Amino acid sequence: MASYGSFASLYDVLMDDFDYVAWSGYIQRILSKNGIDHGIILEMACGTGSLTKELLDLGYRVDGFDLSEEMLAVAQNKLSKNKKLRLFNMDMTEFKMDRKYQAIVAACDSINYILSESSLKETFRRAYDHLDDGGLLIFDINSEYKLREILGNNIFLEDRDEVFYTWENQFDEDTDICNFYLTFFHSNDGENYKRFDEVHREKVYSIETIINLLRDVGFVEIEKYEAFVFEDVKKESERINFVAKKK
């Protein structure tokens, strides 16, 4: 069963508690600390383009891509008039662009959707190859603590006017993959509800594994923070932000 198919039309509604303005501001601070004050960013797994929009508003040019055509269609709708943007339908594990970038970004645990270490290493290798010297790869992951202890083997429900959904999770100890079984009931009129189902999978990556894979492909300077601040990762950090610099 596909992920980010019909769900794409509800993604922005259900993400309305995510502060993409603050998120882009955080990325801008990281870029600024590294002397990158303008230029062109590649956003991998850009989804519906919410972060993309904020990066464009900050003055960057953005090339974005995503695996889901449905997510890209929402992004296209939202951002089609912007001349500083190009969107592509591509897979992070095998992307190839026609230029290099000062920064590559993958936000909101998109990296956890890569389900094997070999594919993740290939993604990092391609990111490295697409960066200028001194360029940055910036991404966040859902932590092992969050996927195992908070999301894993739990059930969540949300009841809103236009959508009711259940989110039933199963953590597979053999693969370290958290399977999310999502069932949505969506209504445009508050009376007639249409059901659809999706399965999403996110893999646990330890900090050590991520750092080793980044080093394997050539990144030397690697930093990790509690996401949205510049503090050390804690045992119960839920989102961890990595910054890897190409020498």
Residues that bind ligand SAM (CB under 6 A): 4, 45-47, 50-51, 66-68, 71, 91-93, 107-110, 113-114
Residue showing the smallest CB distance to ligand SAM in the complex: 47
**Would you say 8 and 68 are in contact if contact means Cβ atoms under 8 Å apart?**
yes
Place of tokens 């999301």: 151
Cβ neighbour number for residue 55 with a 10 Å cutoff: 27
The Cα 88–Cα 72 span in angstroms is 8
Minimal distance in Å, beta carbon 108 to ligand SAM?
3
The full length of the chain comes to: 247
Minimal distance in Å, beta carbon 168 to ligand SAM?
18
**Would you say 48 and 75 are in contact if contact means Cβ atoms under 8 Å apart?**
yes
Helix intervals (H) in the chain: 8-14, 20-33, 50-57, 69-79, 117-129, 144-145, 207-217
**Would you say 178 and 171 are in contact if contact means Cβ atoms under 8 Å apart?**
yes
Give, in degrees to the nearest 5, the angle at Cα 94 between 4 and 117.
85
**Would you say 202 and 171 are in contact if contact means Cβ atoms under 8 Å apart?**
no
The Cα 51–Cα 43 span in angstroms is 9
